[in-house]
Amino acid sequence: MMKQKLIVGAFIAAISLAAAAVDTSNVVKTYELQDGSKVHVFKDGKMGMENKFGKSMNMPEGKVMETKDGTKIIMKGNEIFRLDEALKKGHSEGG
């Protein structure tokens, strides 16, 4: 009976981990900002912010940011956890 409960628990844990997995190929564009931070754009258009030290950071939706070339972009979404997972898996630059 105990063995059966352990098997069911392991199965539920495996399903939960698979559902939480992030596809790092979802990053389609990366913008370098004037302060050295980066904004990564995912396929669905939502964005994640990376500070100049390579860590994901919070950025309020609607915030206007300026790229190194002077282009202004507006933050859409705040995919901090999604980007954090992508950075851990080795993503550095988008397309």
CATH of the domain at 77: 2.40.10.300
Looking at residue 81, what is its pLDDT? 87
The predicted pLDDT at position 18 comes to 43
The answer to whether position 5 is within a domain reads: no
Q: Is 49 helix (H, G, I), strand (E, B) or coil?
A: strand
Could you tell me if residue 11 is inside a domain? Answer: no
Residue 13 belongs to a domain: no
pTM above 0.85, yes or no: no
Arithmetic mean of pLDDT over the chain:
80
Amino acid in position 88? K
Residues of the chain falling short of pLDDT 70: 1-25, 91-95
- pLDDT confidence of residue 68: 96
Residue 14 lies in a domain: no
User: What tokens were used for 22?
Assistant: 């992030």
Instruction: Work out how many domains the chain is built from and give that number.
Output: 1
- Structure tokens of 3? 């063995």
